[in-house]
Amino acid sequence: MHIGTTLTNYIIETQRKLPEATGEFSGLLNDISVACKRISDLVNKGDLVGMLGSAESQNVQGETQKKLDVVTDEIFVEALAHNGHIAGLVTEEMEEIYQLPASAPRGRYLLLCDPLDGSSNIDVNVSVGTIFSIVRAPEGRDDPSTEDFLQPGTEQIAAGYCLYGPSTLLVLAVKGQGVQMFTLDRDFGEFILTHQDIQIPEDTKEFAINMSNQRHWEAPVRRYVDECLAGKEGPREKDFNMRWVASMVAEVHRILCRGGVFMYPLDEKIKAKGQNGRLRLMYEANPMSMVIEQAGGAATTGRQRILDLQPEGIHQRAPVVLGSKNEVEHITHYHSEA
């Protein structure tokens, strides 16, 4: 029986193309895949193992945590802290960066992740996922500082996500190596390569935005959506479909598979809270922007390329417009005219 290319096989082959890569990189990706497999199992079992519902606590952003938010955060720490592949990590659920135990070996990389994106959907059985970003750790320092994590998205070595849906899919973007998709074969517990060198169509007839915020939108976003809704009779001269899952992993995965544009723009409601955006730059916007760009798409704040942003804090927020290249450029052009 043909097994196919496993994630481990792919990582080894990729390392041969990267002179600076070491066994630590393949080890780190393996650690991430182990964590994702464990999370996939818990998501799949749900209430059978008491994993649904609220944890009756809040994260650093003041958001109510689900039980799985807390548990998945612990899974990532357990899977990565003692293997010598990272020098430090931070997640969306943590107030500060996680310093490895003094006895733990240090690696060459830093990991940033959202262990369970879209967790508000978990109780209604809608797809959720894990998002991760890998950057280099500073040399000669056992305990990296917060500033060491504050690297622009262009410095990411790899990024990706794991989608927990009807099947469990791991999507990986290694810098300069395109985007690959792996499907978890539960029969023998391995991620198998199922889609290579994914490319997003440059044009689309599909957009995703939370329409309940329409009254708060800035003029460029309102203009764009109004033109989409006008269909064939409007200035775009084609009909558009609208989607909204409220799970960034699910939204991005759909775009990766068939094109589209996803928007969580800056609006008056967000400004009134003193925030610069809704989504987290380090755990969501940066890694997803790397995936989208390497698949031939584009990702901006509406005003500038997301990967060029210089982070100022580990929990910094940013507006996000990403997906099919021509459509993202269309929206960004409207912002430049405003």
The domains of the chain are located at: 7-195, 206-337
CA–CA gap between residue 176 and residue 189 (Å, rounded) = 28
Which pLDDT does position 60 carry in this prediction?
56
Retrieve residue 287's tokens: 């890694």
Q: Which CATH class is domain 7-195?
A: alpha beta
Q: How far is CA 273 from CA 160, 179, 276, in A?
A: 30, 36, 9
Which pLDDT does position 62 carry in this prediction?
54
User: DSSP state, 267?
Assistant: B
Retrieve residue 72's tokens: 């998945």
CA–CA gap between residue 173 and residue 179 (Å, rounded) = 5
Helices and strands in the chain: count of H runs, count of E runs: 9, 16
Retrieve residue 210's tokens: 């939370």
Q: Which residue has the tokens 């997003």?
A: 200
Alpha helices by DSSP H, the chain? 7-17, 23-45, 67-80, 146-149, 219-230, 248-258, 268-272, 286-294, 325-337
CA–CA gap between residue 316 and residue 287 (Å, rounded) = 14
Query: What residues of the chain score a pLDDT lower than 70?
Result: 1-2, 18-22, 51, 53-66
CA–CA gap between residue 199 and residue 86 (Å, rounded) = 30
pTM of the model: 0.94
Which pLDDT does position 21 carry in this prediction?
64
For residue 36, give the nearest of 138, 169, 135 by alpha carbon.
169
- Type of residue at 49: V
Which pLDDT does position 34 carry in this prediction?
96
**Percent of residues in the chain assigned helix, strand, coil, to nearest 5:** 40, 25, 35
**Cβ–Cβ < 8 Å for 81, 101:** yes
Domain spanning 206-337: CATH 3.40.190.80: yes
